[in-house]
Structure 1
Amino acid sequence: MNNNVVKKAIVVSLLAGAPAVAANPALQLTGDMTVSGLSSGGYMAVQFHLAFSEQVNGAAIIAGGPLYCAQNSLAIAFAHCMGKPDAKPDLTAINQYLNQLEQARLLPGKQNLKDDKVWILHGTQDTTVHPNVGKALVSQYQQWLAPENLRFVADQEFAHHFPTDNSQGTACDVSAPPFIANCNYDAAGELLSHLLGELEPKVDTTTGNLWQLTQSQAASQLATTGYAYVPQRCAAGHPCRLHISFHGCKQHVAAVDDAYLRHTGLNHYADSNDLVILYPQAAPSAFNPHGCWDWWGYTGEQYISRQAPQLQAVMLMAKQLTTADN
């Protein structure tokens, strides 16, 4: 049996039993769950993919790096996972730790990844996360995926941002709030088509709604509210697929209002392709002033395991979507 068929069954089973939280109808989500993210959200997308590899079928990462790159150390994060030209993530040490987590059943087996699709984009002009870090992520995934399932876009002169083909963002050579840029490049369409296959053309104007969701796990250090973009057909009960999109640092709602929720292009494909886009929200704190996702250990040592508080909180949000009055 195809690995992703098994994953579909697991996702449908898991999403069926979630607590009610807010006043929205239950969605009929299929087992096709995929993730994406920018910067710290890219790191988080990889963490979510590996921690829930029985359920997640693919991941897209923009300007991110390998799983457990920081090795629970802010010093290593700055030295080898961000903008230094000599950054060199230690994949050997990382693999040893991942194997320990797998043996302890804190990560599922990496054989779950063999049929998954992964799309990685790293701009050549990115000085926030050096392209060498993105290349290390590619090397990491090459250990686990069939070559035809991995796509690496490394020839675009982008700064550190989410590139789009619309006029809502900054210049393409600028990395500045809201970290969404007008580059004449449709990253949303490129990543979704690799993860999901051939797509219907995106709509010019979205007609769905943003739902508010409670992010209730205090230990996760998330904002109190997360969001989901829900097309009208999905809200009416039509079967839809779930895509989770993790914002980058300084991109949460308190920092850039609804820019990341509305202007990456993901919602425009959601309307025409029956996709629900979940937008979890990190929150700034004394240890995390820019509202980044935890990719270095500020929530605890097991921040990449399936027990990690942020990963658990996001999966709970996904479950909420399938429950009436979620």
Structure 2
Amino acid sequence: MAHQTTTIRTLILALSLVAGSACAREPSGALPKLKLDPSRVAVVGLSSGAYMATQAQLAYPDVFPNAAIVAGGPYGCAGGKLDVALSTCMKGAPLPDVAALVASARQRAAAGDIGPLADLAHSHVYLLHGDGDSVVAPAVAEAGAQFYRQLREATPALAGMQVVDDGARHFAHNLPVAAKGDDCDKSVSPYLGHCGFDAAGEIFSQMFGQPSGKPEVAKGELLSFDQDALRPDGADAFLASRGYLYLPPACAAGKPCGLVVALHGCKQNADAIGETFVKDAGFNRWADAYGVAVLYPQTRASFAPLNPQACWDWWGYSGTDYDTRHGVQLRWLVNAVRALGLPAKQ
């Protein structure tokens, strides 16, 4: 029993994979309908959110043509095994077998378990990590970039896919923000490193090109909404009851609008750090400049299934199909984007 207790404690500690305006209006129960441009939709994630972003793009490339991966590894890395997630996919011991993961992704696409890879023909993929990351080893993040490059090389339809590997910057396991401080080389709550590098601005630039302006403050509205209303077929997606949406003035006025789905890391959900990630990660002011709404889904912590740090599911706690088109959290994300007005693919 003592050995079991120690093992459980070790797993709980190891599961600390993190990345990382006025109060939000109370939930209305429904997301607003926007005039979404399908080509200007991106999924962005930090740490466990980065793994989830890769899963979302591969499972539903028609919904998420663009992705920014911050401190995450290759698609399919864990293979549904927690011990592999904690070793290979975090520490790089041993390193992920990128060639095998690419072959598996191609097989899963052919079987329909993930989306048609041809839907990524014009996608943008931006991979960012710091050389001081001791949580997700830089070599694992580099394997994530290699995955996309090898997938492009192995799939003729993806010749036009743009892959940018930004791995030479100095920061720890966090999302860098524009302000400077003493936590850039630390991985401490709320996992927003004051590095003097505006990662959010770079992500928007990589996803959508250069902006028309550079706002100093966000002028839109932060809304909260009922996440339970979007459960796929009523199934529990292991999310919090409330999520957030930042709505720029242009989107609120009914103009054509892009969308960024921003996925926090473990211990970075609202229950853990309040609205810090939602307000201070840097996305909202850039959203104004680009005319892009930002959706901030929120996970919840649990011990059954074992997810005490409120991570996104990238190893299988929500079911064996967690990283496929049948995964409950991925289906929830698609429901949310559809609810915001993204038309179904014809």
TM-score interval w.r.t. the shorter chain?
A: 0.7 to 0.9
Residue 133 of structure 2: aligned partner: 126
Residue 261 of structure 2: aligned partner: 244
Q: Structure 2, unaligned stretches of length 5 or more? A: 1-27, 153-158
Aligned length: 301
Deviation (angstroms), 1:24: 5.9
Residues of 1 paired with 2:30 and 2:240: CA distance?
Answer: 19
| Structure 2 residue 68 is the aligned partner of structure 1 residue 60 | yes
After TM superposition, the structure 1 = structure 2 runs for residues 158-307 of structure 1, keeping only pairs within 5 Å, are 158-166=171-179, 171-216=183-228, 217=231, 218-286=235-303, 287-307=306-326
C-alpha distance 252-119 of structure 1, shift in aligned 2 (>3 A): same
- Identity across the alignment (%): 37
Residues of 2 paired with 1:63 and 1:25: CA distance?
Answer: 31
Residue 37 of structure 1: aligned partner: 45
Residue 18 of structure 2: aligned partner: none
Residue 7 of structure 2: aligned partner: none
Task: State which drifts further: 91-100 or 39-48.
Answer: 91-100
Q: Structure 1, unaligned stretches of length 5 or more? A: 1-20
**Contact residue 114 and residue 144 of structure 1 kept, 8 A:** no
User: Aligned to 2:216, what secondary structure does the other structure show?
Assistant: coil
CA deviation map 1:147-179 (0-9, x unaligned):
881111111111000001125x76201110000
Residue 317 of structure 1: aligned partner: 336
Residue 5 of structure 1: aligned partner: none
Deviation (angstroms), 1:52: 1.0
CA deviation map 1:106-140 (0-9, x unaligned):
21222222321111111000000000101111110
Q: Which runs of 4+ in 1 moved over 6 A?
A: none
**Contact residue 121 and residue 153 of structure 1 kept, 8 A:** yes
CA deviation map 1:229-274 (0-9, x unaligned):
0012211211110111100000000001011101111101011210
CA deviation map 1:271-314 (0-9, x unaligned):
12101001111111110000000000101111111111001111
Residues of 2 paired with 1:223 and 1:60: CA distance?
Answer: 23
What TM-score does the superposition give when structure 2 sets the normalisation length? Answer: 0.82
Task: State which drifts further: 184-193 or 287-296.
Answer: 184-193
**Contact residue 213 and residue 317 of structure 1 kept, 8 A:** no
User: Aligned to 2:293, what secondary structure does the other structure show?
Assistant: strand
After TM superposition, the structure 1 = structure 2 runs for residues 11-90 of structure 1, keeping only pairs within 5 Å, are 22=29, 25-31=32-38, 32-84=40-92, 86-90=93-97
Amino acid at match of 1:290: Q
Amino acid at match of 1:203: P
Query: Residue 115 of structure 1: which of 122, 139, 155 is its match?
Result: 122
**Contact residue 170 and residue 180 of structure 1 kept, 8 A:** no
